[in-house]
Amino acid sequence: MKLWGGRFTKPTNQLVDEYTASIHFDKKLAQYDIEGSLAHAEMLKVCGIISEEDANAITEGLKTVALKIKHGEAELLDEHEDIHMNVEKLLIEEVGPVGGKLHTGRSRNDQVALDMRLYLRDALMEIGNLLIAVQESLYKQAQANLDTVLPGYTHLQRAQPVLFAHHMMAYVFMFQRDVDRLFDSCKRVNKSPLGAGALAGTTFPIDRKFVAEKLHFDSICENSLDAVSDRDFVVEFLSNASLIGMHLSRLCEELVQWSSAEFNFIELDDAFSTGSSMMPQKKNPDIAELVRGKTGRIYGHLIGMLTTLKGLPLAYNKDMQEDKEGMFDTVETLQGALALFAPMIETMDVKSENMYEAVSKDFSNATDFADYLVRKGMPFRESHAVVGQVVLHCIEQDKYLLDLTIEEYQQFSDLVETDIYEVLSPEAVVNARDVAGGTAKVRVEEQFEAAAGLFEKN
């Protein structure tokens, strides 16, 4: 007999049971569901809604059910639809009809919203901490390679040299905003919907704040309809997760490029690379590729959740059962990616000489030549044109700027003197960008300090 079987004259068709059941995925919520029920039962007792004796029986029964589920000793059935009714059935099996008092003043609608919030609250903390570990791995690589210069790109064309540390720190700050967003979203997740009932509240003299405090919520949801019908906190998480995925994916793309023979800027550790079943020479950056690839499914879950919610009238609708799989999958996808990312970054070999070689064989010091002429009195627009002509000359002669003799320079402008050679070296070019947030070594060191403060705060 179903928990809600009273008004029905026949059993449900088995296909209906299978189709409407969520137990095969919402069993992940078991511990949170029982945690919520324990708090609810205690509140019912404190408010005099059930007797102390009944409350004790329910509490003991719930603890036993929790252990049985944990050890795989409880049978979770489609015919009981979801985790909430499975737990209630198990409780009644354990303690008898008194177990049926647990659901007093409660609906699965506020119960499921509660479970989702409890689950997500833990997941946010865990993902936030994993992200901080990734930040720390980037920070360590930045500090270990403070003098390494590599080409900086725009349009994937060599643009201006930057410090490798500057490049790593860019990601540290991106991930910092992601961490901030996750932790900020906690205050919207951390509100208790319990007591909203099915949609309108309950006729019992419950104490919502008691339950909220017991479960370490900051406060209660102010409106019962809102409490049971919105999943904006799930959307917000999926959106924040999408940004994390996007940032990770950009870094992945760079790692993939950098480990190619064409770039040859880094080598990932053997322990964090894979081979080919056919080509014996291959060493592939599979993790980076897969993290890049899995970003797509996170975006999919975001748009899926938004679409599920957009046409729903207040309050609860069964459509909302679709809120879980995308959330679980996103949490697990991020946990998997982030746990691998920190050690992969930390163990990667940074090939400083190759980076330096690259930056010495390009025209990424051309802006500095133009700026040099400006400092000697030439308007920038004019110096831009002059340097463009010098670059063209170099390309024709198969040379780089630093290969030119002073006489060659002076054919283009008599403002050039021998100090040009110093100005155009990769180190000089980098250190010339001595502006707050720039790539000069001292400015990157300032970023280290700023970031160290951020880690402490978390």
**Minimum distance between the CB of residue 238 and ligand ARG, rounded to whole angstroms?**
17
Nearer to ligand ARG, 199 or 290 (CB): 199
- The site string for ligand ARG over 261-300 (x = CB under 6 A, - otherwise) reads ----------------------------------------
* Contact of 219 with 189, CB cutoff 8 Å: no
β pairing state of 266-267 and 349-350? antiparallel
- Choose which of 321, 330, 333, 447 interacts with ligand ARG (CB under 6 A): 321
- Choose which of 86, 109, 137, 413 interacts with ligand ARG (CB under 6 A): 109
Catalytic option among 276, 352, 393, 413: 276
Q: By rule CB under 6 A, what count of residues binds ligand ARG?
A: 11
Q: How far apart are CA 418 and CA 407, in angstroms?
A: 10
Per the annotation, the verdict on 276 as an active-site residue is: yes
CB-count exposure of residue 173 (10 Å: 0-12, 13-18, 19+): middle
**Minimum distance between the CB of residue 324 and ligand ARG, rounded to whole angstroms?**
6
**Minimum distance between the CB of residue 316 and ligand ARG, rounded to whole angstroms?**
6
Peptide linkage before 385 cis (omega within 30 of 0): no
- The site string for ligand ARG over 15-54 (x = CB under 6 A, - otherwise) reads -------x---x----------------------------
350: phi then psi, degrees, rounded to nearest 5: -95, 115
Residues forming beta bridges with residue 284, ordered by sequence position: 274
Nearer to ligand ARG, 40 or 294 (CB): 40
**Minimum distance between the CB of residue 194 and ligand ARG, rounded to whole angstroms?**
13
- Choose which of 33, 35, 82, 230 interacts with ligand ARG (CB under 6 A): 82
Choose one: 94-102, 188-196, 268-276, 317-325; the region binding ligand ARG (CB under 6 A): 317-325
Nearer to ligand ARG, 310 or 318 (CB): 318
Nearer to ligand ARG, 35 or 82 (CB): 82
* Contact of 192 with 220, CB cutoff 8 Å: yes
Choose one: 32-40, 52-60, 248-256, 314-322; the region binding ligand ARG (CB under 6 A): 314-322
DSSP of 272-328, one letter per residue? G-B--SS-TT--B-HHHHHHHHHHHHHHHHHHHHHHHHHTPPSS--GGGGGGHHHHH
| Contact flag: residue 108 with ligand ARG (CB under 6 A) | yes
**Minimum distance between the CB of residue 22 and ligand ARG, rounded to whole angstroms?**
4
**Minimum distance between the CB of residue 168 and ligand ARG, rounded to whole angstroms?**
42
Give the three-class secondary structure for 43.
helix
Nearer to ligand ARG, 108 or 441 (CB): 108
Per the annotation, the verdict on 192 as an active-site residue is: no
* Contact of 380 with 374, CB cutoff 8 Å: yes
DSSP of 408-427, one letter per residue? HHHHH-TT--TTHHHHTSHH
Give the three-class secondary structure for 254.
helix
The beta-carbon contacts of 70-75 under 8 Å, at least 24 apart in sequence, are 70/30, 70/31
Amino acid occupying residue 420: I
Residues forming beta bridges with residue 350, ordered by sequence position: 266
**Minimum distance between the CB of residue 27 and ligand ARG, rounded to whole angstroms?**
11
Choose one: 88-96, 104-112, 168-176, 236-244; the region binding ligand ARG (CB under 6 A): 104-112
Nearer to ligand ARG, 233 or 356 (CB): 233
| Contact flag: residue 110 with ligand ARG (CB under 6 A) | no
Nearer to ligand ARG, 109 or 273 (CB): 109
Query: The tokens of 263 are what?
Result: 């770039």
**Minimum distance between the CB of residue 212 and ligand ARG, rounded to whole angstroms?**
20
Residue 345 CB partners (closer than 8 Å, separation 6+): 134, 137, 138, 141
Taking the alpha carbons of 263, 348, 457, 209 in that order, is the dihedral positive or negative?
positive
| Contact flag: residue 202 with ligand ARG (CB under 6 A) | no
Q: How far apart are CA 359 and CA 430, in angstroms?
A: 11
Amino acid occupying residue 234: V
Choose one: 108-116, 143-151, 201-209, 270-278; the region binding ligand ARG (CB under 6 A): 108-116
Residues in contact with ligand ARG by CB under 6 A are 22, 26, 82, 84, 108-109, 112, 316, 318, 320-321
Which residues carry out catalysis? Answer: 155, 276
